[in-house]
Amino acid sequence: MMGDLIEAAYIHQLANPKQEPKKSEAIVDQAIASFDELMAKINQKNVENKKQHFKDIEKDFEAKANALVAKINEL
C-alpha cells in the first residue's frame, strides 16, 4: 500500500511538471518513514498480547495511509 502511495506521488510529479515537486517528495518521505516505523512495530519481539499488538498496528497503518491519501488528493 505504501508503495502505491509513493507511486501516486511520482505519477503526480510526472503529470504536473510545472508544479513544485517538494510537496510530493515530502509525501514520499513520509510514506517511507511510516513504512519503516510500522515494520519496526511488526518485528517487535517482546509483545505480551500479539493479537492486540497487530490490531493496533493495523489501525495505525490505516490512519497513516488515509492521511497520505488525503495529502495526495490535495496536490
Q: Where are the domains of the chain?
A: 2-74
- Can you tell me the distance from the alpha carbon of 46 to that of 16, in angstroms, rounded to the nearest whole number? 46
Q: For residue 25, what pLDDT is reported?
A: 94
Question: What contacts 1, CB < 8 A, 6 or more positions away?
Answer: 61, 65
pTM: 0.85
What pLDDT was estimated at residue 71? 93
For the stretch 35-72, pLDDT in tens is 999 999 999 999 999 999 999 999 999 999 999 999 99
